[in-house]
Amino acid sequence: MPTAMVIDLSHYNTVTSFAQVKQAGIVGVIHKATEGTTSTDPKHDERYQQVIDADLKWGTYHFLYAGNIDQQVAHYLDVTDPDDDTLLALDHEKDASLDEVKQFLQAVDQHVGRKAILYSGHVIKAQMKAPDAVLNAHRLWLAEYNPTPHCPPGWAAPWLWQYSQSGAVAGIAGHCDCDAYTGTPEQLAAQWAG
């Protein structure tokens, strides 16, 4: 069984103590920030300070839809207002094309001067038939609930592997998404924001 070093959350998750999350060995939290062109996760802002106060790494993700990519990028960056230590991620599990995924990633990269990470699972596996220079230049956060992860073309291994959507972590009431990383906590912290 993999070991969780990262958890990803949204307002659907009930957090009782980020200090306990830290004590459980979690290094970072990636929280939903935005969805589409207007939706904002209602827990995003308050949990940012709670995560930082617990000495955890902070990251955010945007849930992508097809269309209005520039508006979605602007909405995501406006809500997150990322600093240099914030991990930025694109959540691709809906109907967007690979061209739209690339457009979003490149726009975020250009705005912040570093690369966001790409979260996906079966959707990108179904779409990608060969390696892609733009996509493969981004770290992959792979959702796959099998004993071992299998990457789309062009990635030898995921940077993060979401191996469970029903994990148990102290400080979180109920289940949460758990993500494994193959290096040390120190390496993860050093690589966190890109």
Class of domain 4-191: alpha beta
Q: Is the pLDDT of residue 1 over 90?
A: no
Dump pLDDT digits (tens) for 26-67: 999 999 999 999 999 999 999 999 999 999 999 999 999 999
Can you give the residue ranges of every domain in the chain?
A: 4-191
- Whether 115 and 138 have beta carbons less than 8 Å apart is answered as yes
CA–CA gap between residue 66 and residue 48 (Å, rounded): 28
CA–CA gap between residue 193 and residue 15 (Å, rounded): 23
Q: Is the pLDDT of residue 165 over 90?
A: yes
What pLDDT was estimated at residue 188?
A: 97
Burial tier of 12 (Cβ tally within 10 Å: 0-12, 13-18, 19+): exposed
Q: Is the pLDDT of residue 12 over 90?
A: yes
Burial tier of 32 (Cβ tally within 10 Å: 0-12, 13-18, 19+): buried
Full-model pTM: 0.97
Dump pLDDT digits (tens) for 67-111: 999 999 999 999 999 999 999 999 999 999 999 999 999 999 999
Residue 122 is given by DSSP the state H
